[in-house]
Structure 1
Amino acid sequence: MKQFDPIRIRKTILQMAYSGSTVHIGCAFSIVELLAVLYRNHLHLDRNNPDWPARDYMVLSKGHGVMAQYACLNELGWISDDELACYFGNGTRLKGLADVHVPGVEVTSGTLGHGLSVGVGLALAAKRNRTDQLCYALVGDGELNEGTIWEAALFARQFKLDNLIVIIDVNGFQAMGRTDEVMALDDISAKFDAFGFETISIDGHDEEAIDAAYNQFRHAKNGRPKAIVARTIKGKGVSFMENDNVWHYTRLNAETFALATSELKGKE
């Protein structure tokens, strides 16, 4: 059985969303492959100690996609099946936004735009401590509306943080509509290039392309921070959710949960 299998991760997300009667399914689905490949092949971790001081950092700045990260942490054994079953319930640690109290979650990132700034700080600390640690920071395209993103980008270039890899989930939507209609971003790669980043654009669901991008940037110690512009599909994996922004805030009922689960099982 392949660890961090995208189909299994999506099934876990569905189970969490249904048991917790909660939202943000589409934006979790769009980042599944990006996280699966990262956790499977690239993050330098100690499976027995989530707080291992020499670990690479995974900062989920788009904290509303946290179900995808929780599913990965479950595969590491850092979150139990029983805890996932209580997702979003009273008294649980597993809230609907990324929370640093959960093992493996580096940043509390309910407010969009500030996670990348924390990631920049972690990367700078690793540089000053002369470690080989990398910081991966995953942001949403709608999140690029926030000025703090670009302040962090300027800082990263100024301090030559070539151990920072920013992953941009370009699914074309944000909470209230299409990004092009809310606040057009135009050429995201060109923007990061202009801020001094080394940039690559990929299909964010192509595991081989994702793996190659991580490999390329992991070893590129050239004084430039990195940006992976990943073109994705919001709701990827379930046909009636794909590119339908209603699944940003829609909850599953028994019928839609069964339909979505059946469709994923058919792809195994």
Structure 2
Amino acid sequence: MNDTPHGDAGTDPAEVVARLRDRATFIRTETVRLIEIAKVGHYSSVFSAAEILATLYYDVMHLTPERPDDPDRDRFTIGKGHAAVGMYPILADLGYYPMSALDTYAHLGSAFGDHPDMTKIPGIDFSSGSIGHALSNGIGMALAGRMEGRDFSVFVMLGDGEMQEGQVWEAAMSAAHHKLDRVVAIVDRNGFQLDGEVDDIIGIEPIAEKWRAFGWRVVEVDGHDVEAVRTVLREAKHREPDGVPTCVIARTSKGKGVAYMEEEPGWHLGYLAPQDAERAVAEIRNTKTKGADV
């Protein structure tokens, strides 16, 4: 079985990487489109994670869009739920619902809001928004899977500012204690949170050593290097059981793909006027055509 019915397993690795770069561009441009509907949103938080999301959904995770509740599917939970605007287009692209459904984004009564709702949106495994709960929830999923004799993986994306929450470390300790080697935590280490630089607010370094001290295997990677991200995540999913959960620390840039967003932390929440949105999309697409990991 392929890792996912929508993956590219068995094809030329260079073609897979090119496809994932293309999907990361798709995530960024669709994020711009949807936020233009809402008139406010979290561009930069999506842009830092675009390559990771593309790699997970299009290559690494085992998914069954035709059966969203398949008990053997891999699970994904996200602490930085404000980045859900970048997840919705992926799920539509994979066939969970029509792309046209996103035209109601953030409208009154729409299933698609600023944060994901698992009771309304097929393919969403966790209703997030309150920072700090995603890892605990993922651990509960992994424990339930073990009790039912299932072998699915649970991927959890955490913002680096989220590392300031005590519950994250309680969950980390629990995962190691219960030997949950099917849990993979991914820290989007983009360096910024709502109020400024993460390490100016509450420093979290040395982050790798902290996760190791809590009993996790730690791998650091350039979060915009698709080939490297793919290698790390596939190895984490397919390694032999050893009772050790994996933490991937992805070094990223908040706002990656739009130069002025990378340089200005104030873009955690904002709105691009139509002409500015056009320029941002053009920059994103131009970087992609050069073959770079934007």
TM norm structure 2: 0.88
Counterpart of 2:165, as a letter, is E
Hey, what does 1:79 align to over in structure 2? 97
1:133 to 148, 152, 163: 152
2:251 to 231, 238, 252: 231
For 2:60 and 2:208, locate their aligned partners in 1 and report how far apart those are by CA, in whole Å: 23
1:181-200 to structure 2, matched below 5 A, reads 181-200=200-219
2:276 to 253, 256, 262: 256
For 1:34 and 1:64, locate their aligned partners in 2 and report how far apart those are by CA, in whole Å: 16
TM-fit CA distance, 1:20: 1.1
For 2:134 and 2:234, locate their aligned partners in 1 and report how far apart those are by CA, in whole Å: 23
Instruction: Report if the CA contact (8 A) 1:70-1:79 is conserved.
Output: no
Instruction: Report if the CA contact (8 A) 2:89-2:99 is conserved.
Output: no
Hey, what does 1:2 align to over in structure 2? 19
Hey, what does 1:240 align to over in structure 2? 260
SS at structure 2 position matched to 1:266 = helix
TM-fit CA distance, 1:86: 1.8
Counterpart of 2:190, as a letter, is N
For 1:188 and 1:167, locate their aligned partners in 2 and report how far apart those are by CA, in whole Å: 12
2:181 to 162, 168, 171: 162
- How many residues align? The count is 268
Instruction: Report if the CA contact (8 A) 2:217-2:247 is conserved.
Output: yes
Unpaired stretches in structure 2, ≥5 consecutive residues: 1-17, 290-294
Q: Say if 2:93 is the partner of 1:41.
A: no
Instruction: Give me the CA root mean square deviation.
Output: 1.4
For 1:45 and 1:5, locate their aligned partners in 2 and report how far apart those are by CA, in whole Å: 17
2:161 to 142, 161, 164: 142
Counterpart of 2:96, as a letter, is W
TM-fit CA distance, 1:216: 1.6
Percent of aligned pairs sharing the same letter: 35
TM-fit CA distance, 1:198: 0.6
SS at structure 2 position matched to 1:241 = helix
Q: Say if 2:32 is the partner of 1:14.
A: yes
TM-fit CA distance, 1:243: 3.9
1:95 to 102, 113, 116: 113
Out of 240-249 and 147-156, give the one that drifted further.
Answer: 240-249
Q: Say if 2:231 is the partner of 1:212.
A: yes
TM norm structure 1: 0.96
